[in-house]
């Protein structure tokens, strides 16, 4: 059994397996989270559009690049620093710079408001 509350537009605002508010309604159907993070009755979950799928794939690719950059930075910190970079370190640095540029990173520059 699930209970839920609604937003002004009728969409599901919150849901739980217990009555968490005097305003809760008892659900007669399963409530699930959709691809967009919103809650829906299981039989009413909308399908994502091709544009939304592309945006999700782009976000996943950016997250993967961020993870790669994080792992690379941790590796550099573990190895220490100082002195000139080896050829391998230069290649890794160039790889990291490419990742960061792909994510829109501009170093210490201030973003335009």
Q: Do you know the residue count of the chain?
A: 113
The reply to whether 62 and 91 lie within a common domain is yes
Dist. CA 36–CA 47, nearest whole Å: 10
Q: How far is 51 from 33, CA to CA, in rounded Å?
A: 20
Q: What is the pLDDT of residue 68?
A: 86
The SS3 of residue 6 is: strand
pLDDT digit of tens for each residue in the chain (113 aa)?
799 999 999 999 999 999 999 999 999 999 999 988 899 999 999 998 999 899 989 999 988 988 888 888 777 766 666 667 678 877 887 887 777 777 766 555 554 54
Q: Indicate if 90 and 57 belong to the same structural domain.
A: yes
> What pLDDT does residue 13 have?
96
Q: Is 75 part of any domain?
A: yes
Check residue 78 and give its pLDDT. Answer: 64
Identify the CA nearest to 31 among candidates 20, 19, 17: 17
Residue 107 belongs to a domain: no
Establish if 63 belongs to a structural domain. Answer: yes
Looking at the structure, do residues 54 and 39 belong to the same domain, yes or no?
A: no
Q: Are residues 16 and 57 in the same domain?
A: no
Provide the pLDDT for residue 11: 95
Range of the domain at 12: 3-44
Instruction: Give the count of domains, the chain.
Output: 2
Residues 64 and 97 in one domain: yes
Is the residue at 80 inside a domain? Answer: yes
Say whether both 63 and 87 belong to one domain.
Answer: yes
User: Do residues 15 and 3 touch, judged by C-beta distance below 8 A?
Assistant: yes
What is the pLDDT at residue 3?
Answer: 96
pLDDT at 32: 96
């Amino acid at each position: 059994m699930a209970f839920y509350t609604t937003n002004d537009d009728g969409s599901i605002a919150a849901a739980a397996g217990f009555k968490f508010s005097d305003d809760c309604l008892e659900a007669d159907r399963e409530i699930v989270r959709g691809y967009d993070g919103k809650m829906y009755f299981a039989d009413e979950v909308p399908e994502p559009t091709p544009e939304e799928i592309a945006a999700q794939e782009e976000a996943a690719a950016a997250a993967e690049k961020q993870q790669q950059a994080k792992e690379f930075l941790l590796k550099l910190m573990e190895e220490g620093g100082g002195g000139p970079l080896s050829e391998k370190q230069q290649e890794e640095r160039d790889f990291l710079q490419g990742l960061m540029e792909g994510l829109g990173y501009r170093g210490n520059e201030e973003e335009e408001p």
